[in-house]
Chains A and B, each alone.
Chain A
Amino acid sequence: MGSITRIAVLPVMLVLAALVPFTGNDFYIALGISILLNAVLATAWGLFAGPTKYISLATAAFFGVGAYTVGLFYERVPMLALYPIAALIGAVLATFVGLTTLRIQGMYFTIFTFGLAELIRQLMTWYQRNVTGSVGVYIITDITARQIYWSLTALLALTLLGGWLLARSRYGLALLMIGEDELAARHSGVRTTAVKVVVLALTSAIMAVTGAIVAPRWTYLDPNIAFNPTLSFMPAVIALLGGMQRFWGPLVGAIPLVILFDQLNARFPTTYTLILGLLFMVIVFVIPDGILGLLPKLQRLRGAAPAPTAAPASLSAPLVPSTPTRTASPGVDGITGTPRASTLNGAVLLEVNGVRKAFGGIVAVDDLSFTIREGEVFGIIGPNGSGKTTVLNLISGVYEPDRGQILFLGRSLAHKAPEEIARAGIARTFQLVRIYPALTCLDHVVPAALFGGHVRSLAEAREYASELLEELGMGQFMHVPAGQLNFIDQKRLELARALALRPKLLLLDEWLAGLNPSEMLIGMELIESLRGRGTTIVLIEHLMQAVRRLCDRCIVMSFGQKIAEGTPEEVLANPEVVRVYLGEADNA
């Protein structure tokens, strides 16, 4: 299907949908309202839950809040003003939920949303009983079913447009990264909490407006109607049936499900909830990727050429191959080929002072101090479990030191989140590679360039990222999903992602580990070329060969303490170091 037809399908469908009320058939209008209502809610729900995989069970809460905004104020405030007010209230509520629970990873968000509708239902009941005196309100307006129908059509169009734009913006990619690996996203400089809270607030505002639009339909509104748990359930079922991560998913899911449930509700009113639940479980089981997820599989079955697995919201697709004639190399770190200064005279870049970190009773890092100067390659070596990676995690903001401080360019890194540290100019790779298997290589590097803050536009970021990948010898993998790369290329990709931040300091956590001898040589040359450009590097490494060749200075750690510091030759000749690595002589 050509892209123009694809773009044209939606407006045509929406216009056709908008014509339905002219049939004059009340049944179709009622059914249409039901479908549109659920399609909007499901689309809004999927915009957040699809990429991030944060499951919200509180659609009814936001919907009900919007409906009640109308119910309580329609007599005093003009209807047109009520929609933005409902949106605002929904967004504020969502911001509160998000700031409380989305700062921390884990189940908190889902659990919080699980009871939210019930909480607000009870609060509203309490409010009405104690303040207004009666539970429930009458909503008598001159708004017709047709108007509600058209309002919902317009809202659906807006929601779809918003979702389409979001998916094509840097934030769409940020959401995907959050869903794949939140910590790695933060180390790429993505302000994950802010992105999550803003998108949650926007989608919740849409749900609240939906409630406000539909409220006049009921004429009588009480908390049990407005905060009906089924309203939280339906959008999830619909989005899941259609395909959670797909643009068309909620639309495809809404039509059959709403018609089905309409019939079920009419024929089996008592067993309705039970059937709903069973159907939902079957969908989770049988078609986890939704109806649209089945299409590529069907095509493959028919022997047709496999459709390109439409990577949702790919930023990289429309890129024109970069011209091979480049005027000047962008320089992987932004500084073009500065000759290496005498390493020990550079300004102090990082200062670690008396840092300690304990996990329960285990002291991982104990009273550690060292200084790294600009332009040097600094090694941290030591046996397994000596606390090397913990040091890296302390510098990059994964952990907060119990004692002591870390200064970067003279400023303390205390209480700084990983994304702030990444933006300040400290990039890292991970001991066990943390890539997003489903995203292309370019999509790994583009956000780091964008969120690192030195590139303004998406186009510029794409260009920068593709040049960087070319430079690291990964030009041919630009549009390949990272999960298909072999190990060294995954490591190179991690390096590219780190370099795209234009770091002043690069932290490499056993970057050479697991490479075969020839790959190792390539890897070491790569690190040398970075150092030739003046990037300061912290290298955690087990391979003495690499340490000798690459490091200007290094420290040796054992049980969380520094036991030696100096050039590799000095350090490796130190008897204490030999003892730590080779063990004590039997007769000592």
Chain B
Amino acid sequence: MTSILDALVTGLVYGGIYALLALGLTLQYGVARILNLAYGDFLIAAAVFATLLYQRFQLSPLVSLLLLLPASFLIHLLVYHLVFVQLERRRGSWRAMEASSILLAFGLSFVVSGAMLAIFGGKLFSYSYLLVPVQLLGSVVPANRLLALVLALAFGGFAYLLLVRTRIGTAIRAIAVDPDGAPLAGIDVRRWAGLTFAFGGIICAASGVLISMFQTFNVPMGVTFTLKALVVVIMGGVGNAVGALVAGLILGVTESFVARFISPGLTLAAVYGLFVLAVLTMRTGIFGRALR
């Protein structure tokens, strides 16, 4: 019984983070129309820097966030304008460049992970931060995970409110729905799509820092994070924040149960199982809206 409860609580903690992870990717894909296959690698980069800042300068990950989030924003803005916008210029239109943009993103993921591999190799990263046991629902959870979950939900909630309650958010959602029609409403699509891509980058970096607080990781793991984020996006429906939250929790709990009761080596298989289920049964995600 307690083991079930443990698995559930662990799953919910991971699930909350996955939801945040997916929110960033769904913004990038839904609004900027870029399937960012380098997402997980950027996430690992943020996690690596948080770890280094903690180990070298005893900087709390909460402080690292203040440094890493703006940095990630700038880097993603640059990547968007220097790479993807230039590609669009060369190809003529978004539609014509879809295949190229995927390949480009795939190349980017090799560049990001390759750069880190060159510097750090495949070694494992971890640091102990806030390793205090906390009683929660009759289960014992390390405080760092709990803090990560609370921050993830706070970030996610903030992003969600930004999207649905502000003028900027409305403009961004308009681009997601109809990129050709949005300019007719006076929306500068290029500019806002770029800012949204970069905002997705902020969320990406935040997820990375939060994950570094409690999980051991190495550079080659970027792929699995990209994949998990993609699966959550598909399950929840593109551009759907609430869907991402629910799907993230489902993924986290499933993974945690598989790891606990079947085998930790089969968690990725569980992710794929959910992916197949999502594709076969709910073609448009839990809350409707097909993936383009």
Residues of A in contact with B (beta carbons under 8 Å apart): 53, 55, 57, 100-101, 104, 106-108, 110-112, 114-115, 118-119, 122-123, 125-126, 129-130, 229, 233, 236, 240, 270-278, 280-281, 284-285, 288
CB of B227 within 8 A of CB of A118, answer: yes
CB of B118 within 8 A of CB of A274, answer: yes
Name the residue in B99, B115, B226 with the highest tally of chain A Cβ atoms < 10 Å from its Cβ.
Answer: B99
User: Nearest chain A CB to B179's CB is how many angstroms away?
Assistant: 16
Closest to B110 in A: A277
Which residues of B are found within 8 Å of A111, using beta-carbon distances?
35, 227, 230-231, 234, 275
20 intermolecular pairs with C-beta atoms under 8 Å apart: A55-B99, A55-B102, A55-B103, A100-B280, A111-B35, A114-B223, A115-B227, A115-B230, A115-B271, A118-B224, A123-B265, A126-B266, A129-B265, A229-B223, A271-B118, A274-B110, A274-B115, A277-B114, A285-B86, A285-B87
In whole angstroms, how far apart are the Cα atoms of A240 and B100 in the complex?
10
B72 contacts chain A at the CB level, 8 A cutoff: no
Q: Size range of the interface on B?
A: 35 or more
CB of B90 within 8 A of CB of A281, answer: no
B205 contacts chain A at the CB level, 8 A cutoff: no
B37 contacts chain A at the CB level, 8 A cutoff: yes
CB of A115 within 8 A of CB of B117, answer: no
Beta-carbon contacts under 8 Å, B255-275 to A:
263, 265-266, 268-269, 271-272, 275
In whole angstroms, how far apart are the Cα atoms of A125 and B265 in the complex?
8
Which residues of A are found within 8 Å of B111, using beta-carbon distances?
274, 277-278, 281
Which residues of B are found within 8 Å of A101, using beta-carbon distances?
279
In whole angstroms, how far apart are the Cα atoms of A237 and B226 in the complex?
21
Which residues of A are found within 8 Å of B103, using beta-carbon distances?
55, 236, 240, 280, 284
Q: Which of A53, A104, A275 contacts B99 (CB 8 A)?
A: A53
Which residues of A are found within 8 Å of B109, using beta-carbon distances?
277
Closest to B278 in A: A108
**Given A100-B276, A107-B35, A123-B269: A236 touches B106 (CB 8 Å cut-off):** yes
Interface string of B88-113 (1 = CB under 8 A from A): 00110000001110111011111111
In whole angstroms, how far apart are the Cα atoms of A284 and B99 in the complex?
10
B291 contacts chain A at the CB level, 8 A cutoff: yes
CB of A108 within 8 A of CB of B279, answer: yes
Which residues of B are found within 8 Å of A271, using beta-carbon distances?
114, 118
In whole angstroms, how far apart are the Cα atoms of A522 and B83 in the complex?
49
Which residues of A are found within 8 Å of B268, using beta-carbon distances?
115, 118-119, 122-123
CB of B100 within 8 A of CB of A284, answer: yes
CB of B37 within 8 A of CB of A273, answer: no
In whole angstroms, how far apart are the Cα atoms of A111 and B99 in the complex?
13
Beta-carbon contacts under 8 Å, B210-267 to A:
223-224, 226-227, 230-231, 234, 263, 265-266
CB of B263 within 8 A of CB of A126, answer: yes
Q: Which of B104, B117, B224, B269 contacts A284 (CB 8 A)?
A: B104
Which residues of B are found within 8 Å of A53, using beta-carbon distances?
98-99
CB of A288 within 8 A of CB of B279, answer: no
Closest to A270 in B: B118
CB of B91 within 8 A of CB of A288, answer: yes
B283 contacts chain A at the CB level, 8 A cutoff: yes
6 closest cross-chain pairs (CB), A and B: A277-B110, A274-B114, A273-B114, A126-B265, A277-B111, A115-B227
B292 contacts chain A at the CB level, 8 A cutoff: yes
CB of A284 within 8 A of CB of B87, answer: yes
CB of B83 within 8 A of CB of A281, answer: yes
User: Nearest chain A CB to B37's CB is how many angstroms away?
Assistant: 6
Which residues of A are found within 8 Å of B90, using beta-carbon distances?
285, 288
**Given A274-B110, A278-B111: A114 touches B230 (CB 8 Å cut-off):** yes
Which residues of A are found within 8 Å of B164, using beta-carbon distances?
none
B131 contacts chain A at the CB level, 8 A cutoff: no
Name the residue in A270, A281, A284 with the highest tally of chain B Cβ atoms < 10 Å from its Cβ.
Answer: A284
**Given A108-B279, A285-B86: A277 touches B108 (CB 8 Å cut-off):** yes
User: Nearest chain A CB to B86's CB is how many angstroms away?
Assistant: 7
Which residues of B are found within 8 Å of A104, using beta-carbon distances?
279, 283, 290
Which residues of A are found within 8 Å of B115, using beta-carbon distances?
274
Name the residue in B265, B266, B269 with the highest tally of chain A Cβ atoms < 10 Å from its Cβ.
Answer: B265
Which residues of B are found within 8 Å of A273, using beta-carbon distances?
110, 113-114, 117-118
CB of B99 within 8 A of CB of A112, answer: no
In whole angstroms, how far apart are the Cα atoms of A130 and B110 in the complex?
32
In whole angstroms, how far apart are the Cα atoms of A111 and B26 in the complex?
13
Closest to B106 in A: A57
Which residues of B are found within 8 Å of A240, using beta-carbon distances?
103
Closest to A283 in B: B107
Beta-carbon contacts under 8 Å, B168-223 to A:
223
Beta-carbon contacts under 8 Å, B1-41 to A:
35, 37
User: Nearest chain A CB to B183's CB is how many angstroms away?
Assistant: 20
User: Nearest chain A CB to B75's CB is how many angstroms away?
Assistant: 15
In whole angstroms, how far apart are the Cα atoms of A281 and B82 in the complex?
12
In whole angstroms, how far apart are the Cα atoms of A195 and B63 in the complex?
54
CB of B276 within 8 A of CB of A108, answer: no
In whole angstroms, how far apart are the Cα atoms of A158 and B100 in the complex?
29
Which residues of B are found within 8 Å of A57, using beta-carbon distances?
37, 106
Closest to B116 in A: A274
Name the residue in A119, A123, A270 with the highest tally of chain B Cβ atoms < 10 Å from its Cβ.
Answer: A119
CB of B224 within 8 A of CB of A115, answer: yes
CB of B110 within 8 A of CB of A119, answer: no
User: Nearest chain B CB to A382's CB is how many angstroms away?
Assistant: 24
Name the residue in A55, A101, A125 with the highest tally of chain B Cβ atoms < 10 Å from its Cβ.
Answer: A55
**Given A108-B234, A122-B268, A272-B114: A233 touches B224 (CB 8 Å cut-off):** no
Which residues of A are found within 8 Å of B269, using beta-carbon distances?
119, 122-123
User: Nearest chain B CB to A430's CB is how many angstroms away?
Assistant: 17
Which residues of A are found within 8 Å of B86, using beta-carbon distances?
285
In whole angstroms, how far apart are the Cα atoms of A203 and B112 in the complex?
30
Interface string of B108-137 (1 = CB under 8 A from A): 111111110110010000000000000000
In whole angstroms, how far apart are the Cα atoms of A55 and B104 in the complex?
12
Q: Which of A107, A118, A274 contacts B223 (CB 8 A)?
A: A118
In whole angstroms, how far apart are the Cα atoms of A107 and B115 in the complex?
27
In whole angstroms, how far apart are the Cα atoms of A55 and B103 in the complex?
8
CB of B272 within 8 A of CB of A119, answer: yes
CB of A115 within 8 A of CB of B223, answer: yes
In whole angstroms, how far apart are the Cα atoms of A281 and B37 in the complex?
13
In whole angstroms, how far apart are the Cα atoms of A277 and B263 in the complex?
34
**Given A119-B272, A284-B104: A233 touches B110 (CB 8 Å cut-off):** yes
User: Nearest chain A CB to B67's CB is how many angstroms away?
Assistant: 24
Interface string of B53-70 (1 = CB under 8 A from A): 000000000000000000
